[in-house]
Structure 1
């Protein structure tokens, strides 16, 4: 039986802490001396509540990326970051995402407030007119 393999842990540190806190809250239920069906049901309900708390922590860890840490930066990446020290950082698009419909908005550019308006909508008339102009120019 001495294979040298270690058993995987059942709980990580956060889950174990959650388990112990929840167990402490229900300790009075587990220490009851009663052996009635009602007491057994109460203990079972307490364990289910504790399990749901621990499972919620597991789900949180998966949802927030709870996997291994990213690898450390390479020398080239650290050098690139050092070249960008003190430069502005883009933190997203104010008022929505890039796939949102264009809407006029106020933006700040060099201390002045500028109104950004929607781009003009293309129509088929423009295409027809440009075809007409190209025919006129190619007639010679």
Structure 2
């Protein structure tokens, strides 16, 4: 029986989405041939490897767990966004996490969630600009680019869009900081590996010099014994 994956921390979820962005073209590649399926598995595995490298003391993630976690992040993000904009009914849910916000950003213009019970085509308020940001057709949600310029601030839908876009900008800053920390850690690891190699080379050099001294000593002793025997 498969064991349940350990809890993914918010930072792990952000790193997962960042790594997914780098290989999304491979994962989303059309086709079900053995080659394409293998490429997708390697892409998911690369994300798992990145998480495991940055979390040495934490639980080790498999590519299957990473794939399921990505789907959960995307589904939760769409459900939250749909409820918040009044398309799914019920009370508004909590704000999106940075990872969920990124999931929505990476899937703009794509059908990212199917089978929402009671889903129907709805706009955000009365503003036509708002309908360009999120649309629901049947049971499929489409996320679209926000308007280049925000409408009148007096329009509630305009304020909602401005808030979403503000969240997007904050997420970009947070992800940039995570990327910097990841690259810094990678540089530290490379520096450590370089120092280990230098020490290994110095150790080998000392061993070689020691062997050379032993060989010279043995040769001198042999020569002395040979001369002694001659006399």
Query: Same fold judged by TM-score > 0.5?
Result: no
Q: Give the TM-score normalised by the residue count of structure 2.
A: 0.22
Q: Give the TM-score normalised by the residue count of structure 1.
A: 0.35
Larger radius of gyration: 1
